[in-house]
A and B are shown apart, each in its own frame.
Chain A
Amino acid sequence: MYEVVVGIEVHVELKSNSKVFSHSQNEYSNEPNIYVNEIDLGMPGVLPVLNKKVIEMALQASLALNCKINKVMHFDRKNYFYPDLPKGYQITEQDTPIGYDGYIDIGDKKIGIERLHIEEDTCKSIHGKTGTMLNANRAGVPLIEIVSKPDMRSPEDAVAYLTKLREILLYLGISDVKIEEGSMRCDCNVSLHKPGTPFGTKIEIKNIGSINNVGEAIKYEIKRQSEILDREGFIKHEETRRLDDKTMTTILMRVKETGNDYRYFPEPDIPYVEISDDWINEVKANMPVFADELKEKYEALGINSNNLKTIISRLDLVEFLESVIDSCDPIIASNLLTGDILSYLNKNYVSINKIKLNSDNFVELVNNIKEDKVSSKQAKEIIPYLCENGGTLADAISKLGIEEINDISAIKDIIKKVLDSNPESIKDFKEGKDRAIKYLMGQVMKESKGKVNPKTANDLLMSLIREY
């Protein structure tokens, strides 16, 4: 049997305001070539100047991934002729990556991080039939490239590594890390060998569109490479493939042969960067609370594992929950957040800080549910209303016309009316058929148009029925 060996390179776009070496806006747009200046296009005579924010973000990532830090760094030019690079070279950190020799824990396994370095993104290319179309909005967007050691031994390891890596970067708030939108891009190196023998020939799989698809691509490669090894004994040469997500197979990419000869040399336009111990300590002191810590906290509060998983994967939900968690019941809060609120957010493609529901009306709602003043049925109507319109809970209830009937004698009247018209059910109840109560309650809710509190109504029904 063969063992699979996987190493992963991840490119992550950092969300600074401006690009890494120019003052152009760092923003995604459907309109091509609008966030571009002379530096991004590599015009003669321009001088790149390093954006300090980018160094800080890369430093945060390096420390969060347990990397050692190169305290004196310089940049290098990676020369290659490719139309997505107007300058003819990419500015990167070949010799002195900001972070090196780190790791991520996945379960009880450590996955090593070889290096983490800063570089500039290239133009986005769309390869059409008649030519390649270039959009320079992306040229010069800051990237960090994170290279793992070949420490993963299964598709599951790879998925766990990427999930954890994504989570850490998300919590640092330095990137959107959306694979679907290209702000996180994964290239996988997959090879097979027999344990105890040297690693096999690497196959690189580029630009896989989701974390789960990384697992699928590796599964397919295990099958494909095993068959070649069984048949021929070895894999002839390294190659680059891509995942076809319709068939879940990998396809050879026929990139025109250029021969990798990057002729790296130090970038003379950018002076040395020194990272002081003070700076490192400051970044360390300001690390956010990470998902693992929150998971423990939420578990201890009794939030169930499904809700917990959903909340942890969305930073906006985490921040919201953190803002209300000391003022209301965390279990009810998490149920609402992952239920009707999340449906509203998904339906409208918004994050929770962009809607009218806020911590005040949310806490009010949770507390009223907790005290049985608002039923779950009412909550279902109240939540979309608050998300859309905001305001107080009382406003929402009155605007929706779903006030509860609080007058006990009025509730009693409704129950008596129901009992009077259902003598059969009263008889059934007295003969010990519990079903009868359910039916009667249904009638009470119907008669009251859902405006009585079910618990109050149930208590009153139980006492009134005995008088019949």
Chain B
Amino acid sequence: MLSKNEVDHVADLARLHVDEAEYELYEKQLYDILSEIKKIEDVDVEGETEIMISPSTNKNTYSNDSIGPMLSTSDVLKNAKHTNGDFIVVPRVVADSEEI
């Protein structure tokens, strides 16, 4: 089982709220997922085995440096809950006023 703190941490990373009643469920479910993944540790990778990053044998798939169609500003803003002029507005994330 995962600890309550660990569930909190994972929830926090995903910006999710966890109800008190849900902890037990998530402690078990997350533990089950980790246990499944842990099986990979049993594989013998001693020696020269290289880690496979991608299952695809494709390589060097490039686009050329050309400009293609873009969205209209009104379309860009369509999914935003809040806007101000042509900006998307989200909850404030920095305490001081400044540009980053």
Contacts and interface: CB of A to CB of B under 8 A. Distances in A.
A132 B12 contact: no
B49 interface: no
Interface residues of A, number: 62
A132 B90 contact: yes
A204 B45 CA distance: 39
A133 B87 contact: yes
A271 B59 contact: yes
Interface in A99-146: 123-136
Contact of A256 (B88, B90, B95): B95
Contacts, number: 165
Dominant secondary structure at the A interface:
loop
B93 A256 contact: yes
A385 interface: no
A41 B89 CA distance: 14
Nearest to A32: B86
Contact of A50 (B63, B73, B89): B63
A411 to B, nearest CB: 62
Contacts of A49: 61-63
Interface residues of B, number: 44
A17 interface: yes
A395 interface: no
Contacts of A133: 84, 87-89
A33 interface: yes
Interface stretch (B18-26, B28-36, B50-58): B50-58
Contacts of A274: 59-60
B65 A18 contact: yes
B94 interface: yes
B41 interface: no
A81 interface: yes
Interface string A37-60: 110010000000111111100000
B68 interface: yes
Interface string A58-87: 000000000000000010000111111000
Nearest to B77: A33
Q: Top 3 nearest A-B pairs by Cβ distance?
A: A23-B68, A254-B95, A52-B62
19 contacts: A16-B65, A17-B67, A18-B66, A32-B73, A36-B76, A37-B71, A41-B76, A49-B61, A52-B62, A53-B64, A55-B62, A131-B82, A207-B100, A251-B96, A253-B94, A254-B95, A255-B93, A255-B94, A271-B54
Given A132-B89, A133-B84, A259-B9, 10 more contacts: A18-B63, A23-B66, A25-B70, A37-B71, A52-B62, A127-B99, A129-B97, A135-B87, A251-B96, A261-B9
